Amino acid sequence: MSLRTLDSLGQLSGKTVLVRCDLNVPLKDGEITDDGRIRASVPTLNALLNAGARVVVVSHLGRPKGEPEAKYSLAPVALRLSELLGKAVVFASDTVGPSATAAVADLEQNGIVLLENLRFNAAETSKVDEERAAFAASLAAFADAFVSDGFGVVHRKQASVFELAQALPSAAGLLIEQELSVLERLTTSPEAPYAVVLGGSKVSDKLDVIGALLPKVNTLLVGGGMLFTFLAALGHKVGASLLEADQIDNVKGYLAEAEKLGIEIILPTDIVVASKFGADAEFVTTAADAIEETPFGASGLGLDIGPDSAARFAEVIAGSKTVFWNGPMGVFELAPFAAGTKAVADALTRMDGLGVVGGGDSAAAVRALGFSDDQFGHISTGGGASLEFLEGKRLPGLEVLGWQA
């Protein structure tokens, strides 16, 4: 079987279509700080509206504890979605309660409604199959068909991702199609030279993807908090920098495997070390093997890759034909420690080939640093889902739509 797409649903004019989007955007004081995931949902929603469907959108936001929390309301998302679609998006203040029921009943052809946060209902993420299925059945009662377009959640076996696709005629939306097309190029037919850039805080989050990709890449570049476990594996002291001591042996194993395969692992040669975690911290740049030799001694914190390393990373990226990047190079949210991440992002915009920003913090970083989506080959909407795809793991939200690895 292959992935079922929108065409498989046939004529949708006059039908009600329930769409699972991933509208899990960052909010600060009730304001959306990055609307990338909302914008990514627009093509599928427009396609359905233009086909004459009545559209019911569902999503989660944040991690509420199975009951309503005002700070996790999708109300601000409804306003932004209205702006992007150029039409009113009705907002229902619950998921399967009286507000949702009335809003769906009042929907006219080409109309759209957004239901409140799915995770305000504990059954959405329940570990009990029957509870998830019952919630999915309640949602399914609103619609004639289901479109799954929240790529960021396809690795989760949740009611709106898995059971809902079983409860109605179902298909993948345009965003999931696009994400799969790009990720399959990274795993089955990457053009060489192929470089993977990994950052972020924990090496433990990336070990599986390192293991899966090592045989396929030419170069692996390592930055972010995870680099200090690599430095420790080489015998270097890392001060008070983030370190997963229990992963040192695993990292040594991957370093040995890379050497055996002839894969180059490039680690930073210089590090920006700070006196504390904060934008007002004192900081110096030092050699990667001399972190504790700064004025801060053993209390120094490595918070970014240094300028020499940033230039080297950028050179490798610019000379590659395929690049996958997941995870910032430093604490980009703090201006003194954003240069490494910015250098990687800039190089990705200048390469001649396929450059993929692997969602999550990387996507947030490029937008926060002033880059636009169209400067990159692809910005994934699913950090964890992208990594699990590249690791070759089973993704229940795709398998239920007919996809097979």
Binding site for substrate: residue ranges?
22-24, 37, 60-63, 119, 156
Report the candidate in 56, 215, 66 with the shortest Cα–Cα distance to residue 140. Answer: 56
Where do we find the tokens 């042996």? 249
Alpha-carbon distance values, 150 to 83, 161, 376 (Å): 20, 8, 21
> Annotated binding residues, as ranges?
22-24, 37, 60-63, 119, 156, 206, 302, 333, 359-362
Alpha-carbon dihedral angle through residues 368, 200, 387, 248, given to the nearest 10 degrees: 170
The torsion angles phi and psi of 2, rounded to 5 degrees, stand at -120, 170
List active site positions. 37, 202, 360, 384
Strand boundaries in 219-330, DSSP class E:
219-222, 264-266, 270-274, 283-287, 301-305, 322-326
Do the Cβ atoms of 206 and 226 come closer than 8 Å? yes
Burial degree of 12 (CB within 10 A; 0-12, 13-18, 19+): buried
* Torsion sign, CA atoms 369, 372, 378, 380: positive
Taking the C-alpha atoms of residue 224 and residue 202, their distance in angstroms, rounded to an integer, is 8
Where do we find the tokens 């169209």? 374
Taking the C-alpha atoms of residue 403 and residue 105, their distance in angstroms, rounded to an integer, is 33
Report the candidate in 75, 77, 98, 65 with the shortest Cα–Cα distance to residue 33. Answer: 77
Burial degree of 159 (CB within 10 A; 0-12, 13-18, 19+): buried
> Annotated binding residues for (2R)-3-phosphoglycerate, as ranges?
37, 119, 156
Alpha-carbon distance values, 53 to 47, 94, 147 (Å): 9, 22, 12
88 three-class SS: coil
Angle at 136 between CA 19 and CA 115, to 5 degrees: 45
> Annotated binding residues for ATP, as ranges?
206, 302, 333, 359-362
Do the Cβ atoms of 179 and 324 come closer than 8 Å? no
Alpha-carbon distance values, 353 to 88, 178, 214, 320 (Å): 39, 17, 20, 7
H/E stretch holding 198: strand 194-198
